[in-house]
Amino acid sequence: MKLKQYQIDAFAERTFEGNPAAVVALERWLDDDLLQAIAEENNLSETAFFVPGSDGFDLRWFTPAREVDLCGHATLATAHVIFEHLGFRAPVIRFETRSGALFVRKQDKRLQLDFPAYAPTPCAIPEALEQVLGVRPVELLADEDYLAVFNSEATVRAMVPDHARLAELDVRGIIVTAPGTGVDFVSRFFAPGMGIPEDPVTGAAHCRLAPYWARRLGRNRLSARQVSRRGGSLECEVTTDRVLLSGRALTFLEGEIILQDRPGAD
């Protein structure tokens, strides 16, 4: 069995920037073990799989370790494939996902994600978090992720966390953020427990970051930069209960997966 696969740099202005995601086009769903094995073989932070649905497309995301409920950059990458490589003509793509219906709108050279907004709540700062990050946040909020706030972009850029100990914390991932020098805010995202030591650019994290900074700065349109080694840029707009995230995507490669002697590879 052969499967068409693309590798897309999402939230990137040029090749080798942003967050690379694999996108696999399917005619029908394969066994979950096989989807996970493909994601592990790709060894990117996310591999997205999509199939035609009754009203758009059904979409799932896998890290090298497990399936996740929401992924921004791989959704952007999938929309790029559908628009640019499959010739989708409508201006908006609807995806059915584990996080409900998600929408991506084409805007000239950019794509706009329409995602749910999340509001983590303030919490006490565990001593273990300060130890593994190497610096104490000025504020900490939590839901399934920690959102750790710092005073300066330089602090966020210079951070060298203990990834082994981060994986022991009882949260999915750690978002670190601060006011930006050339943008409204900067961030990084660490999720070693999910097989992602550091994610280059994380759309889902901005579903928490954008509402936080909108409240703090008193406006709903914000510019953001994830300051990982690769780096990536996003434009954010916060509505009542949604976050609109805009960015570019570029195709790095396209090819075929060849599956032989695997369960589910009929």
**pLDDT score of 143:** 94
Q: Is 17 among the domain residues?
A: yes
Residues 179 and 148 in one domain: yes
Dist CA 155 CA 169 (whole Å):
21
Q: Is 265 among the domain residues?
A: no
Residues 107 and 141 in one domain: no
Residues 140 and 228 in one domain: yes
**pLDDT score of 26:** 97
Q: Is 253 among the domain residues?
A: yes
Radius of gyration in angstroms for the set of CA atoms belonging to the chain, rounded to a whole number: 18
Residues 230 and 129 in one domain: yes
pLDDT tens figures, 3-15: 999 999 999 999 9
Domain that holds residue 55: 2-116+248-258
Dist CA 74 CA 250 (whole Å):
12
Following DSSP, what letter does each residue of the chain receive, concatenated?
-EEEEEEEEET-SSTT-SEEEEEEE-SSPPPHHHHHHHHHHHTSS-EEEEEEETTEEEEEEE-SS-EES--HHHHHHHHHIIIIIS---SSEEEEEETTEEEEEEEETTEEEEEEE----EE----HHHHHHHSS--SEEEESSEEEEE-S-HHHHHH----HHHHTTSSSSEEEEEEE-SSSSEEEEEEEGGGTEEEES--TTTHHHHHHHHHHHHT-SEEEEEE-SSS-EEEEEEE-SSEEEEEE-EEEEEEEEEE--S-TT--
Q: Is 172 among the domain residues?
A: yes
Residues 142 and 225 in one domain: yes
Residues 77 and 170 in one domain: no
Residues 99 and 191 in one domain: no
Residues 233 and 184 in one domain: yes
Residues 68 and 35 in one domain: yes
pLDDT tens figures, 47-105: 999 999 988 999 999 999 899 998 999 999 999 999 999 999 999 999 999 989 999 99
Q: Is 204 among the domain residues?
A: yes
Residues 206 and 128 in one domain: yes
Residues 93 and 133 in one domain: no
Q: Is 243 among the domain residues?
A: no
Q: Using 70 as the pLDDT threshold, list the residues of the chain that sit under it.
A: 262-266
Q: How many structural domains are present in the chain? A: 2
Residues noted as catalytic: 46
Q: Is 160 among the domain residues?
A: yes
CATH number for the domain spanning 151: value is: 3.10.310.10
Q: Is 28 among the domain residues?
A: yes
Which residues are CB-neighbours of 259 under 8 A, at least 6 positions away?
Answer: 1, 2, 3, 34, 265
Residues 139 and 191 in one domain: yes
